[in-house]
Amino acid sequence: MNCSYHDASKMIDHALLMPTLTSEELETGCRMAAAYEVASVCIMPYYVDRCAELLQDSGVLPSTVIGFPHGGQTTSTKVAESERAIADGAIELDMVINISAALSGRWQYVADEIKAIVSLAHDHQRQVKVIFENCYLTDGQKQRLCEICCELGADWIKTSTGFGTTGATMPDLELMLSHRKLPTQVKAAGGVRDLETLLKVREMGVSRVGASATAAILDPARQQLKLEPVKYQTNTSETGY
């Protein structure tokens, strides 16, 4: 491993977005993410306030999703979701574009919606990751979205929700990296499940990944670097996830 532990761990947004997760599982997931010192916990919107409380002073950011997972909400609804998420303590917002509008070539609508969320977030010193859901888009549509997001100052462009037909692919990451303009960064979501893949996308230039397999990714890193196994408090005992 040719990087530090935090170089790897701070790439991960630990995803707690499956609708079947219980409150106990959400609590445990937040504590686990804090113990592994990841970048953020991306949690279901209704649990943002508790997530922010659990992560306080941990160095791990609370984040959530907007317009998730299909992106078909009205812009005003996405703005209201963003306002509530910010009020509840979310520092980063992962927003799904209106996929239907993009497929219809309604680029002004798509751009106006992204601008509304990015402007709101930046006014509150928050950051935005714009989710494309690449499995439904042509390469030309992906390229156009890269251009729009970079023009509007989105903080990240993101491959997918993890709920589409496929997650991040190497060709899509190469396309997004080649068409982004700094300071906009690229996030891979869905498909990064081991340390080898994490390090591979890092070398490509990806700065964040969305993952639920955080322990499976980072335990080998800790072993290679001769760090102690991670322990954290669950509701009943101190254990691994």
Q: Which residues are catalytic?
A: 94, 158, 187
Max intra-chain CA distance, the chain: 53
**Distance of alpha carbon 185 from alpha carbon 10, whole angstroms:** 14
Contact 40, 70 (CB under 8 A): no
Helix axis angle, 170-179 relative to 139-152, nearest 10°?
40
Contact 207, 230 (CB under 8 A): no
Q: Which helix (H) or strand (E) holds 127?
A: strand 127-131
Helices and strands, counts by H and E, the chain: 10, 10
**Distance of alpha carbon 122 from alpha carbon 141, whole angstroms:** 25
Q: Which residues contact 129 (CB under 8 A, 6 or more apart)?
A: 92, 93, 94, 95, 154, 155, 156, 157, 158, 187, 208
